Amino acid sequence: MSIRFFSDRNRPVHMGPYPLERLARRDGLPDLLGAPVMATLEFRRSERPESIVNAMGEFQAMMDAIRDGLVNPARAEVPADPQDRSDHLKAFGYFNDASMMGCGPLVTEALLSEPRRNADIDRLAEALKTRQTKTLASGIDVIMADLKDSIEAQPGPMDTHRNALVFLYEYHRDPDPSEPGSDWIMDAQAHRACLRATENAVVIANYIRLLGWDARAHTATTSDVDLNRLAVAAGLATLENGQLVVPWVGRRFGLAAVTTEMDLAYDRPLAPMSEQPWSATKGPSWWMGTHSAKNALNRDPFAKRRYMDGAHPFEKLKRVETPTTYIDEPNVPRVPKRADMFARAQFGDMGKALQDGAKGGHYVRKSAPSFAQRRALGAFVLLQDGDCASGPCPTDAERNAANLKAASYFLGVDAVGLSRCPEWTWYSHDATGEEIVPPHDQAVSMIIDQGYETMEGASGDDWISVAQSMRAYLRFSLLGGVIAQQIRNLGYKAKAHTVMDGEVLQPPLLLLSGLGEVSRIGEVILNPYLGPRLKSGAVTTDMPIAHDQPIDFGLQRFCESCNKCARECPSGAITAGPKRMFNGYEIWKSDSQKCATYRITTKGGAMCGRCMKTCPWNLEGLFAERPFRWAAMNLPATAPALARLDDAVGNGGLNDTKKWWWDIELAEDGAYRASPHPLNRRGLQTDLDLRHEDQTLAVYPAPLAPHPWPYPFPMDREAGIAAYESMVSAEEYQRRLAAGDD
Ligand code: SF4
Ligand code: SF4
């Protein structure tokens, strides 16, 4: 696990994880014609069919296809100061996990005489003609029409673009060919960096266009500009003997850019490396990380760890044969996909107000950052399933497991677990109402961290909340999608189950694969290193894989002694009472109806994740937090004191330094404007004494589930309240089971 001694709580997000502000800068640009012409990257390795690069190709082409688009004719109300805008866009880029961001002029030396276009875009368009009918996600016609237009469109002029935002993604350690799990990921650094930088640039270009300014993304495969020259002009790299060099990172990085007509303030060009202050780039403050999140000891999380093990010490966790909460596997009822609360809202089961709020994903569109993420998320739906190739079908389950984990971590997944995928984890019917016959029996579960820094600045239910979720969903759709494609390339079946089109219930798979334990939040599985601050996804397959075991890190005892999430939940959806049996699972069952209603209809923000924000396991990752984690895992008796201590030190409160987003909302004229509603921005409610006996909660177990078809099935809340009250403990459930009672 990476080492950080100092908190960066007083460092604004736009400054990034590296102490760029400590570098020496110069006036005037060097001769940019002396910069090496950017290399052309191809996502094809026909001589090495097992290379992960082959699986990335269609995803890169898909993002290249949507790098440009329509500009919102209704311009947003946002700060006019170019510095504010640059800071804001850089912070968005860091939120999306860029290593470094820079702003500079779109210099004429950077314009390519022959724009580059990814040849895979045309191949993808051909492939999609036959693949489009296989996906189930709603709104697929709109996605297809958008893609068709994007693929066929000729890029227009960029006459009005004067400015460039540059994204830099550093490489981590090169995989060692002798390390387990390295079979697929050798020689893929440039492609990984390109893919990740492209994801970021495509989202932010779309964001700027939604705000009403023209913008276009440029990548290592499709570009109108030379990224190397832009990186120098934006103050990210210096020219040394005809090569680009970046402080701390050297020559190991990938680039993408967004050019735009929006006015931006520029970063000054870097001084040569010989003039860079030793204290900033090599001195004790860099080693200790006194100025920034990155330091010499944590810069590369894989410097001393195998890729297959991940960045966190998962190998130290206590493994157990069965999850720490009871699952009555033979009797878990399967429910239709239609039972999902957001689906129920869309079909009008919960009334007109909710249906209006959910229609067309309004809760996503009303926030500009999340609507900007939505386009790529929709496009990836078309790639998450497909035919398998006549590949080599590797049969060594241990080796397959090592390769799957190493490739997932190499790409940027935060936690990976492997398990069986039993029938009871599949929905009974898909989104069209058709019965699902489980096609795969193995699962690769993945976790994407929602990011501590932005969560620190948020209340959990303000205007960034929905984008925090969508960012993680998008990341899984991309990386989980690549892994599913990789499996298919090797000859096995595989499907990535994303937020847009998933057919499995992820919480039980996370439990089986050892990625967390059941928490009081309810359906949220809590991971010991990431807390509840996560989104999950799963790839199901028939590839033989060795399994991980469930984990026990003492969370059941901890959540029994803490109800901070329940106290802080703005809708009162989380139980302050004990665990109960629900659909065959032992769980702190929350009132999903209340939660979904709040998330869809809240006016002072968009969506909610306040339970994740305020949980004591939502940690920054500092060395000083290790005693907390150790005591919470190893000394169950300390749980009540630790929960009180967390409140006493103010964890889960607001940190305005980390608030980088604008509180703007989609208005009736189509422009994003200052929201007219009072902002959801609240501190901790430490004086609230929430008692279970004062709560009225409803649940909808299988007997109350809707029919599987896409039309209304009104929700009966009284029946739901009665169902809540009739739930029993796991002990009572097992006693009745043994006695043969219902
Ligand atoms: Fe928000 Fe739902 Fe969590 Fe409550 S349970 S804090 S409404 S996300
Ligand atoms: Fe458990 Fe407390 Fe976190 Fe809720 S806030 S999930 S009770 S540790």
Indicate if the pLDDT at residue 134 is higher than 70.
no
The ligand 2 atom at the shortest distance from the C-alpha of residue 574 is 4
d(CA 32, CA 147): 35
- Mean pLDDT of the 139-156 span: 75
SS percent in the chain: helix, strand, coil, step 5: 40, 15, 45
Helices (H) and strands (E) in the chain, counts: 24, 18
d(CA 103, CA 89): 9
DSSP string, 232-272: HHTTS-EEETTEEEBTTTBT-EEEEEEEESS--PPPPPBPP
- Give the pLDDT confidence score for residue 637 in this predicted structure: 81
Cα(589) to centroid(ligand 2), Å: 13
d(CA 312, CA 319): 15
CA-nearest of 448, 560, 575 to 521 is 575
- Give the pLDDT confidence score for residue 139 in this predicted structure: 64
Q: Decide: 608 in ligand 1 pocket, CB within 6 A.
A: yes
The ligand 2 atom at the shortest distance from the C-alpha of residue 618 is 3
Q: Decide: 553 in ligand 2 pocket, CB within 6 A.
A: no
Cα(611) to centroid(ligand 1), Å: 6
* pLDDT tens-digit series, residues 269-312: 999 999 999 989 999 899 988 889 999 999 999 999 999 999 99
By alpha-carbon position, which residue is closest to atom 2 of ligand 2? 562
By alpha-carbon position, which residue is closest to atom 3 of ligand 1? 611
Percent of the chain past pLDDT 90, that is, above it, reads 83
Cα(574) to centroid(ligand 1), Å: 7
Indicate if the pLDDT at residue 469 is higher than 70.
yes
Q: Decide: 406 in ligand 1 pocket, CB within 6 A.
A: no
Cα(516) to centroid(ligand 1), Å: 19
Cα(698) to centroid(ligand 1), Å: 15
Looking at all shown ligands, the one closest to residue 610's CA atom is 1
Q: Decide: 564 in ligand 2 pocket, CB within 6 A.
A: yes
By alpha-carbon position, which residue is closest to atom 4 of ligand 1? 569
Question: What's the Cα-to-Cα distance from 676 to each of 605, 654, 666, rounded to whole Å?
Answer: 11, 22, 11
Looking at all shown ligands, the one closest to residue 643's CA atom is 2
Indicate if the pLDDT at residue 578 is higher than 60.
yes
By alpha-carbon position, which residue is closest to atom 4 of ligand 2? 565
Indicate if the pLDDT at residue 1 is higher than 70.
no
The ligand 2 atom at the shortest distance from the C-alpha of residue 561 is 7
CB 444 within 8 A of CB 512: no
Residue 607, strand partner residues = none
H or E element that contains 243: strand 243-245
pLDDT tier, 154 (very low <50, low <70, confident <90, very high otherwise): confident
Q: Decide: 524 in ligand 1 pocket, CB within 6 A.
A: no
Looking at all shown ligands, the one closest to residue 574's CA atom is 1
Query: Which letter does DSSP use for residue 458 in this model?
Result: -
Q: Decide: 598 in ligand 1 pocket, CB within 6 A.
A: yes
Looking at all shown ligands, the one closest to residue 611's CA atom is 1
Q: Decide: 571 in ligand 1 pocket, CB within 6 A.
A: yes
By alpha-carbon position, which residue is closest to atom 1 of ligand 2? 559
The whole model's pTM is what?
Answer: 0.97
Looking at all shown ligands, the one closest to residue 556's CA atom is 2
Q: What is the ipTM of this complex?
A: 0.99
- Mean pLDDT of the 35-53 span: 94
Indicate if the pLDDT at residue 148 is higher than 80.
no
- Give the pLDDT confidence score for residue 576 in this predicted structure: 97
| Helix boundaries (H) for 451-493 | 452-457, 465-489
* pLDDT tens-digit series, residues 81-106: 999 999 999 999 999 999 999 999 99
Cα(621) to centroid(ligand 2), Å: 18
Q: Which of 325, 518, 553, 565 is the best mutation target for the ligand 2 pocket, counting ligand atoms within 8 Å of the beta carbon and taking the most?
A: 565
d(CA 443, CA 441): 7
pLDDT tier, 137 (very low <50, low <70, confident <90, very high otherwise): low
Q: Decide: 612 in ligand 1 pocket, CB within 6 A.
A: no
Query: Which of 303-312, 406-415, 459-468, 707-716 is least confident?
Result: 707-716
Looking at all shown ligands, the one closest to residue 466's CA atom is 1
Looking at all shown ligands, the one closest to residue 532's CA atom is 2
Residue 593: CA count within 13 A, CB half-sphere: 22
* pLDDT tens-digit series, residues 217-269: 999 999 999 999 999 999 999 999 999 999 999 999 999 999 999 999 999 99
Strands 672-674 and 664-666, by their bridges, are antiparallel
More confident position, 642 or 613: 613
Cα(563) to centroid(ligand 2), Å: 6
Cα(44) to centroid(ligand 2), Å: 46
Cα(569) to centroid(ligand 1), Å: 5
- Mean pLDDT of the 64-91 span: 97
Q: Decide: 611 in ligand 1 pocket, CB within 6 A.
A: yes
Residues in the chain: 742
CB 17 within 8 A of CB 294: yes
Indicate if the pLDDT at residue 135 is higher than 60.
no
Q: Decide: 590 in ligand 1 pocket, CB within 6 A.
A: yes
CB 447 within 8 A of CB 534: yes
Q: Decide: 595 in ligand 1 pocket, CB within 6 A.
A: yes
d(CA 215, CA 208): 6
- Give the pLDDT confidence score for residue 704 in this predicted structure: 96
Cα(253) to centroid(ligand 2), Å: 39
CA-nearest of 305, 328, 490, 309 to 417 is 309
* pLDDT tens-digit series, residues 329-379: 999 999 999 999 988 998 999 998 899 888 878 889 999 999 999 999 999
- Mean pLDDT of the 573-587 span: 97
* pLDDT tens-digit series, residues 645-674: 888 888 899 999 999 999 999 999 999 999
Q: Decide: 202 in ligand 1 pocket, CB within 6 A.
A: no
Q: Which of 559, 587, 598, 602 is the best mutation target for the ligand 1 pocket, counting ligand atoms within 8 Å of the beta carbon and taking the most?
A: 598
d(CA 541, CA 80): 50
- Residues with Cβ within 8 Å of residue 277, at least 6 apart in sequence: 22, 23, 24, 283
* pLDDT tens-digit series, residues 680-721: 998 899 999 999 999 999 999 999 999 999 889 999 999 999
Q: What is the mean pLDDT of the chain?
A: 94
CB 256 within 8 A of CB 221: no
- Give the pLDDT confidence score for residue 509 in this predicted structure: 98
Cα(618) to centroid(ligand 2), Å: 10
Question: What's the Cα-to-Cα distance from 669 to each of 73, 215, 353, 627, 672, rounded to whole Å?
Answer: 10, 21, 21, 53, 9
More confident position, 127 or 1: 127
